[in-house]
Homo-oligomer: A and B are copies of this chain.
Amino acid sequence: MSVIYHKVALIGLGLIASSMALGMRKHGLASRIVGHARSAETRATALELGLVEQVFDTAAEAVKDADLVVFCVPIGVMADLAAEVAPHLKPGATISDVGSVKKAVVDAISPHVPLGVHFIPAHPLAGTEHSGPRSGFAGLFKNRWCLLTPLPDTEPEALTRLKAFWTALGANVDEMDPEHHDLVLAVTSHAPHLIAYTMVGVADDLKRVTEGEVINYSAAGFRDFTRIAASDPTMWRDVFLNNKEATLEILGRFTEELFDLQRAIRRGNGQQLFDYFTRTRAIRRGIIEAGQDTDAPDFGRTSKD
């Protein structure tokens, strides 16, 4: 691969930024990668791991001369960050982000973007339940989607370049408008996360069932919830605060439907349950066919013996 951006500045050096840095190095997508993180410890770790060649104490210094600036920080701090770096952005630079909500990010960043700088919001649908600069790996984006939500006046050339960048990191790139993105993600990510957090919280509260039992016997379904519910608390707080309406709408539909199934259980309506469970099976099949998960019967366990 060849260099796509001469100098890239990563603001925030957690799971996503460290995976981007490793991916860029592996595929030679940038001549220089620099970074900034609020925590001195994170900055030191990023240097020690060789994720970036230089770290700066402030975001303003880090973005200087950068051709691509990526905000890899919780959504709640993006507006202040944009205001801080705006005067220091190079004309012709592209500013982007990796936030899980897009309408709020557009609202937070747009007002600060100087003329001649390209702002293209992005959301790589990739992650693990781990966070911090040590949790990244170059393959994180491989065969995952990266959704771009360009604004109406986005320059085509800048957009093409950012698409090429994410494609080179291994992602499949798609475009949609910010509001639609937020609704789709409320269904596929935000509501499921809140539900998983809630179920894990309930288990924790339940005093008659000791923690030891919940943990020991987690393999039968609950385990997957705990993985989802172990994601970064700051990031997820900001997701819910910034995609309030769509998340609450989906959660409303969810509880409506859950109550209906609860009533079927209470009344012993086995046919309704059976039909419902049969229908949901088909969706799983579609996900496997779309290559977003594997069909391996032991899903990821290392040994079959």
Contacts and interface: CB of A to CB of B under 8 A. Distances in A.
A288 to B, nearest CB: 9
A255 B251 CA distance: 10
Interface string A112-140: 00000000000001111110000101111
Interface stretch (A2-10, A80-88, A179-187): A179-187
B273 A145 contact: no
Interface string A213-233: 111111111111111111101
A208 B179 CA distance: 12
A250 interface: yes
A56 interface: no
A38 interface: no
Interface residues of A, number: 115
A39 to B, nearest CB: 17
B297 A137 contact: yes
Interface in A250-305: 250-251, 253-255, 257-259, 261-262, 265-266, 268, 270, 273-274, 276-281, 283-287, 290, 292-294, 296-305
Given A125-B217, A138-B305, A299-B227, A262 B248 contact: yes
Given A233-B278, A287-B218, A139 B199 contact: no
A280 B138 contact: no
Interface stretch (A89-97, A151-159, A161-169, A239-247): A239-247
Contacts of A189: 217, 220-222
Contacts of A297: 128, 130, 135, 137
Q: Which A-B residue pairs are the 5 nearest by beta carbons?
A: A300-B300, A230-B284, A189-B220, A233-B277, A192-B221
